[in-house]
Structure 1
């Protein structure tokens, strides 16, 4: 399997990131959600490549087959990893596609580097711009609930991740796609990730406020969210992002859960490919 090596003097470390690279044409970079790996994208990779694009999907540090350093799981470090991938593969005119927590890498990258090498962005079930409940974000996730997630990851991570997967897909409403085998497959991927990375990245997506950075998203952007998402409430995420990102197309998928890349893959893929072709 191929790897790229990050080169970060400031962090004093080099980290090897696993990636998959298929097809030709304009590069489309798929950034996976928490707590999975690039494997979540199998239904999108095939569609993107068949449509004539080059598709790169990689494992975030601490997840999948990438290295597992102990430090640096904040969004700036994760955006630096993304930059290393783009530079070392010499990618240009890229489309950045971030799912859930991956939306943070997209926005932080654009905040740090502008539209250098980037033509478009896609935010799917994204945490952008803010997850946590605050006085000016009353529909966000209460801090005590976020604290409960962190405690569960510390004390019963394996059990917590099994229950999380059910909510991820609204499995009781999507039994035909979110089967027991799928839930077991995702649980295997999630539990194989670094326990420390799982906690540290949860802190990053739970406590980072991207609202001041939305003005840095200047490329055409597709926003897709399910209106039945129980993991990232649509009111505190994509509803807000769609009002602040200047050039955006916002698609709400009816009855779709957080993991709509599986349960509503046809609708998502059609929206994604239409946007890529524009």
Structure 2
């Protein structure tokens, strides 16, 4: 299915089941297919599951602009309004989590019941004078330069670390290859823009304003979004946030730790 945003971009989404809506917002480079192990689980338990393909990703249009977090948040708002969704649970992974945070900052929580931030790129990744806990800029810039120089090589090198299989996580080579192919199918221009925008956005001022129930899930072996830079700090900024830190989990915990993630999310839904 498709809808058109106010700037004329045609975005794809998938919509399954009936019941209280859950909107899944994918990571940068990935699309709605990444939620293969979440959507059936929650549809079978009485939820309506909607997954968006960000512009430049999946089956959506590939415009030259709109890969900043504010536009991503506005695209998410356009989907929610297009479907006239209410009492929504927003589930965002990685950059998707950052877009969920921007949605709340820009559009409020009138339509939102709760949010889940999984492996989210929050609150502010780049190290600066007033953000000494961040990742040194030289490391971020070197990684971005390597991505620009040889994107397939960069992705292949990250693949094992993404799921932290070196720590014993049982993720098949076929699953790793499937995830890699999703990333390679994404617009190279979108990848460049998204990666730069997400590491340089400062959410610290707006996260304390989140008032809906929030669950944060992160792996302590996350190479892409180190937990001490991201989730631990985010949990301190969002009032009353429920925090789950998974031992030996990498960035791709939605696959490697899917049973625990799904059950923690189900318990969070049931508790509210």
State TM-score, norm by structure 2: 0.96
Q: Is the aligned partner of 1:268 residue 2:261?
A: yes
C-alpha separation in 1, matches of 2:175 and 2:130: 38
Q: Is the aligned partner of 1:144 residue 2:145?
A: no
Aligned partner of 1:162 among 144, 147, 156: 156
Aligned partner of 1:135 among 121, 129, 133: 129
Q: Is the aligned partner of 1:48 residue 2:47?
A: no
C-alpha separation in 2, matches of 1:251 and 1:170: 17
C-alpha separation in 1, matches of 2:233 and 2:130: 12
Q: CA RMSD in A?
A: 1.2
Taking the TM superposition and a 5 Å limit, the aligned residue runs for 1:40-119 are 40-119=34-113
> Partner residue of 2:193?
200
C-alpha separation in 2, matches of 1:181 and 1:85: 32
> Partner residue of 2:5?
6
C-alpha separation in 1, matches of 2:9 and 2:209: 27
Which contiguous aligned blocks of 4+ residues in structure 1 show a shift greater than 6 angstroms?
Answer: none
State TM-score, norm by structure 1: 0.94
Are the counterparts in 2 of residues 219 and 247 from structure 1 also a CA contact under 8 Å? no
TM superposition shift of 1:175: 5.6
Are the counterparts in 1 of residues 72 and 99 from structure 2 also a CA contact under 8 Å? yes
How many residues end up aligned between the 2 structures? 271
TM superposition shift of 1:135: 3.1
Note the residue ranges of structure 2 that are not aligned, 5 or more in a row.
none
TM superposition shift of 1:148: 1.6
Are the counterparts in 1 of residues 167 and 248 from structure 2 also a CA contact under 8 Å? no
Aligned partner of 2:166 among 161, 172, 179: 172
Secondary structure, aligned partner of 1:212: coil
Secondary structure, aligned partner of 1:252: strand
Are the counterparts in 2 of residues 28 and 97 from structure 1 also a CA contact under 8 Å? yes
